[in-house]
């Protein structure tokens, strides 16, 4: 039986202020060739310097994914020609990457799935070619931008696994604040190495490059698996090569024969000293997979509910801070999730920040559970807090009156002012009872607890 073996190479732009080896701003969403200098355009005599933050973020990712950190390492020159790489070589890593190994875990069809990594290393990006008919222009704004490359082992078996892995990796990169990882902006790009062979045997590997979306990644893998299986069934050989993906025809096409490592003529970068990061203290951060399990197991959320919070780190943090004191109260957890993902999410979209503190939200949830504010009042208070009003002041206006003695005093005043309604009630006109309750609600601007007021009023009227 022919079984696909899939490995991925993912390149993601690192969120730093400056480029990898120079002080140019790390942004290419501007007019072409605005953020360039002698270093990133490969001018003779220009010397690179290492971006400390890019190194730190690479180690942070490797530590979170459980990889082995190489604290002693160095950069190398990877020699090849591309028109948008002006030095004619790329500063990268080869034999000794910053990170070796690691595991990415995610849920697929409700089951825990693991993808094993081979390496994570740091390098610089190339520029960007802009094509116009028969000619092309080059924008060097992206040249020299820090780029993390994540390489998996060929442990994936389906395009769906590959897609879900890539989606989880995007989430991890965003959650750890390493990269925006937006495929539409070219901040993360995928390459798939695909082979087909009997059982666990690897077949001839074909690389499909420059897949710029999760949809393209899945479709290209499916197409290439089918293409290779058809070749083998016809008795033809699969050629080791690099192929591109045609976004219009939705097929792969030959680009060139695949290079081997020796073709790049790697050697240590002579303009950069080897790195010794021994003694650097790094703290491992929890991954979305771990946080997702925590939300499900400790707070009783469903998988879909946990996904909503995982993709919004600010909301996840807010939820945990609020829910921590209600952890054994399923009704409270339900209310926290519902008000957060409806009302606060909506207000967040308008104001671009959450203006409700976890402490204020806890107070509102507690009052709502105790029946001291209604759902309508809860929503009104949230809107007013986002507009800048203080909770304490709002509660003086909105909070229900639930003290029986205070309610009794209010009702006595209402009875005194509505003797005709009292006499009608005595004559058996039940509607008069609700009229008195309505007058009490009006007097207190709706703050009196109606259920408790009915009980107190009945006792008062029965004793008249």
Q: Is residue 283 part of a domain?
A: no
Q: Is residue 218 part of a domain?
A: yes
pLDDT for the residue numbered 399: 67
CATH number at residue 433: 1.10.10.410
Q: Is residue 242 part of a domain?
A: yes
Tell me the mean pLDDT per 10 residues along the chain, length 464: 95 97 89 94 95 97 97 95 87 97 93 96 94 90 96 97 97 95 93 93 92 96 96 93 93 80 86 94 91 92 93 93 88 96 95 93 92 86 93 79 74 81 77 81 73 78 72
Q: Are residues 17 and 78 in the same domain?
A: yes
- The structure's pTM equals 0.81
Q: Which domain holds residue 315?
A: 288-398
Q: Is residue 282 part of a domain?
A: no
pLDDT for the residue numbered 388: 92
Long-range pairs, 278-285, Cβ under 8 A, ≥24? 278/71, 278/72, 280/59, 280/71, 282/56, 282/59, 282/60, 282/63, 282/69, 284/63, 284/64, 285/60, 285/64, 285/176
Q: Are residues 205 and 85 in the same domain?
A: yes
Q: Are residues 452 and 377 in the same domain?
A: no
Write down which residue in 229, 249, 276 finishes a domain: 276
Q: Are residues 267 and 353 in the same domain?
A: no
**End-to-end Cα separation, the chain, in angstroms:** 91
Q: Is residue 281 part of a domain?
A: no
Write down which residue in 276, 298, 317 finishes a domain: 276
pLDDT for the residue numbered 258: 61
Q: Is residue 100 part of a domain?
A: yes
Q: Are residues 131 and 266 in the same domain?
A: yes
Q: Are residues 150 and 241 in the same domain?
A: yes
Q: Are residues 313 and 334 in the same domain?
A: yes
Q: Are residues 207 and 334 in the same domain?
A: no
Q: Are residues 106 and 243 in the same domain?
A: yes
Q: Are residues 247 and 309 in the same domain?
A: no
CB 122 within 8 A of CB 94: no
Q: Is residue 312 part of a domain?
A: yes
DSSP H helices, 176-279, are: 214-233
Q: Are residues 432 and 367 in the same domain?
A: no
Say which DSSP state 35 is in: S
The Cα–Cα gap between 21 and 424 comes to: 89
Q: Are residues 377 and 322 in the same domain?
A: yes
Q: What is the number of domains present in the chain?
A: 3
Write down which residue in 276, 309, 343 finishes a domain: 276
């Amino acid at each position: 039986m022919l079984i696909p073996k899939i490995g991925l190479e993912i390149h993601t732009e690192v969120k730093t202020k400056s480029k990898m080896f120079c002080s140019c701003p790390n942004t290419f969403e501007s007019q072409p060739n605005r953020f360039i200098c002698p270093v990133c355009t490969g001018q003779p005599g220009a010397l690179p310097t290492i971006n400390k933050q890019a190194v730190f973020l690479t180690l942070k990712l490797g530590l979170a994914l459980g990889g082995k950190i190489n604290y002693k390492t160095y950069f190398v020159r990877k020699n090849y020609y591309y028109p948008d790489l002006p030095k004619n070589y790329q500063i990268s890593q080869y034999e000794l990457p910053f990170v070796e190994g690691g595991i990415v875990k995610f849920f697929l069809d409700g089951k825990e799935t693991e993808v094993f990594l081979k390496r994570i290393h740091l390098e610089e990006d190339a520029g960007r070619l802009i094509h116009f008919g028969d000619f092309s222009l080059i924008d060097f704004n992206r040249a020299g931008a820090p780029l993390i490359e994540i390489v998996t082992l060929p442990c994936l078996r389906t395009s769906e696994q590959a897609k879900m892995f890539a989606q989880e990796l995007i989430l991890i990169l965003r959650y750890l604040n390493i990269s925006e990882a937006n495929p539409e902006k070219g901040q993360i790009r995928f390459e798939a190495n695909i082979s087909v062979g009997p059982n666990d045997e690897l077949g001839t590997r074909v690389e499909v490059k420059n897949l710029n979306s999760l949809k393209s990644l899945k479709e290209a893998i499916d197409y290439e698996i089918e293409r290779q299986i058809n070749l083998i069934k016809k008795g033809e050989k699969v050629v080791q090569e690099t192929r591109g993906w045609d976004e219009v025809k939705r097929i792969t096409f030959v680009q060139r024969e695949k290079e081997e490592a020796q073709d790049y003529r790697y050697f240590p970068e002579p303009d950069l000293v080897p790195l010794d990061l021994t003694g650097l203290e790094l703290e491992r951060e929890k991954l979305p997979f771990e946080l997702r399990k925590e939300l499900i197991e400790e707070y009783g959320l469903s998988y879909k509910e946990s996904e909503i919070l995982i993709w919004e780190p600010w909301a996840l943090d807010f939820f945990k801070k609020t829910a921590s004191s209600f952890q054994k109260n399923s009704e409270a957890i339900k209310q926290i999730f519902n008000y957060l993902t409806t009302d606060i999410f909506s207000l967040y979209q308008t104001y671009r920040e959450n203006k409700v503190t976890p402490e204020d939200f806890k107070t509102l949830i507690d009052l709502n559970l105790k029946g001291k504010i209604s759902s309508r009042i809860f929503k009104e208070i949230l809107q007013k807090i986002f507009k800048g009003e203080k909770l304490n002041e709002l509660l003086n206006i909105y909070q229900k009156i639930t003290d029986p003695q205070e309610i009794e005093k209010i009702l006595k005043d209402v009875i005194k002012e509505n003797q005709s309604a009292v006499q009608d009630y005595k004559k058996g006109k039940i509607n008069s009872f609700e009229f008195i309750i309505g007058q009490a609600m009006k007097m207190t601007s709706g703050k009196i607890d109606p259920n408790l007021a009915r009980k107190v009023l009945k006792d008062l009227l029965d004793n008249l």
